[in-house]
């Protein structure tokens, strides 16, 4: 794990805990004015946004390395990422981008389907609810599921997984859904029976690829756990549920 040290975000040690290697959970020293200092240099003051700010410090080159490595099913190299080895910037934009891309693809697919069959193009009434649901689905899966895994490993198995790193790798796994959207759009133009089968195959393939992205990044951490296979089984089960929901809601 990287050696960058930040203040803890959560008081319950869900994201950060003393068992997270490379993270200093001790509170930072603060001046009378409320600004923290380190080696004489002024630092950001307290507050959630200031505490999270370092985890958004990632360059375009680092982001490119991370996304390219994951899509090619390669391990993201910590040395290439430098101080951004653990960051949540990519997680946020992947959640937003994947949700919007799937929503736009669904809308275009519906419009083209109606045009090609000479039907009246329907309105967008109620369609935005789908976008909200998909956003909630991706956000819940990327944030809540890793935290549940961390708590299970910590309290049921008395071992440790790093909460923030789980979140970032789960977010990276969802990157796969973005390039699948144009494929989904094209498959939606097939005859109705074939389109449904093709979309199902696409969802299964995307889900499997997404899981492989996460597994490659977490393989070393899971191998260090005495109950690593049980944790992987839980990950796989929850991932299957997530993929089914993606298929039913939007794909």
pLDDT, tens digit, for every residue of 125-147?
557 788 889 999 999 999 999 99
- Residue scoring higher pLDDT (77 or 207): 207
**Who contacts 153 (Cβ-Cβ below 8 Å, separation ≥6)?**
159, 160, 161, 225, 227, 231
Domain assignment present for 69: no
Looking at every residue in the chain, the average pLDDT score rounds to: 76
Domain assignment present for 9: no
Number of domains in the chain: 1
**Who contacts 75 (Cβ-Cβ below 8 Å, separation ≥6)?**
69, 216, 217
What confidence tier does 239 reach under pLDDT thresholds 50, 70, 90? very high
User: Which whole number is the average pLDDT over 192-214?
Assistant: 90
What confidence tier does 85 reach under pLDDT thresholds 50, 70, 90? low
Domain assignment present for 78: no
pLDDT over 90 (residue 238): yes
What confidence tier does 124 reach under pLDDT thresholds 50, 70, 90? low
Give pLDDT, residue 243: 94
Domain assignment present for 114: yes
pLDDT over 70 (residue 25): no
Give pLDDT, residue 52: 61
**Residues 125, 155: Cα–Cα separation, whole Å:** 46
What confidence tier does 17 reach under pLDDT thresholds 50, 70, 90? very low
Q: 186: domain range?
A: 83-249
pLDDT over 90 (residue 46): no
Domain assignment present for 200: yes
- Residue scoring higher pLDDT (57 or 203): 203
Domain assignment present for 148: yes
Question: Are the beta carbons of 207 and 240 closer than 8 angstroms?
Answer: yes
Give pLDDT, residue 251: 73
Give pLDDT, residue 88: 77
Question: Are the beta carbons of 166 and 214 closer than 8 angstroms?
Answer: no
pLDDT over 60 (residue 235): yes
Q: How far is CA 194 from the centre of its chain?
A: 31
**Who contacts 2 (Cβ-Cβ below 8 Å, separation ≥6)?**
22, 78, 81, 83, 85, 86
Give pLDDT, residue 90: 82
Domain assignment present for 37: no
Domain assignment present for 2: no
pTM of the model: 0.72
């Amino acid at each position: 794990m990287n050696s960058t040290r930040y203040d803890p975000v959560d008081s319950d040690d869900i994201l950060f805990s003393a068992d997270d290697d490379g993270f200093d959970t001790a509170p930072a020293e603060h001046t009378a004015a409320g600004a923290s200092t380190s080696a004489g240099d002024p630092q950001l003051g307290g507050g959630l946004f200031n505490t999270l700010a370092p985890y958004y410090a990632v360059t375009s080159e680092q982001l490119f390395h991370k996304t390219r490595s994951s899509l090619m099913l390669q391990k993201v190299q910590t040395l290439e990422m430098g101080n951004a080895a653990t960051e949540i910037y990519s997680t946020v934009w992947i959640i937003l981008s994947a949700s919007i891309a799937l929503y736009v693809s669904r809308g275009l697919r519906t419009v083209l389907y109606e045009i090609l069959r000479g039907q009246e193009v329907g309105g967008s009434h109620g369609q935005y609810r789908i976008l909200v649901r998909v956003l909630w689905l991706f956000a819940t899966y990327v944030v809540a599921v890793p935290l549940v895994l961390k708590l299970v490993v910590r309290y049921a198995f008395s071992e440790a997984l790093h909460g923030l790193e789980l979140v970032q790798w789960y977010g990276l796994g969802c990157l796969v859904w973005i390039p699948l959207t144009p494929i989904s759009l094209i498959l939606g133009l097939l005859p109705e029976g074939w389109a449904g089968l093709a979309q199902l195959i696409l969802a299964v393939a995307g889900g499997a690829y997404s899981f492989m992205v996460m597994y490659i990044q977490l393989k070393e951490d899971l191998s260090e756990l005495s109950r690593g296979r049980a944790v992987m089984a839980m990950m796989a089960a929850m991932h299957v549920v997530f993929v089914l929901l993606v298929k039913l809601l939007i794909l």
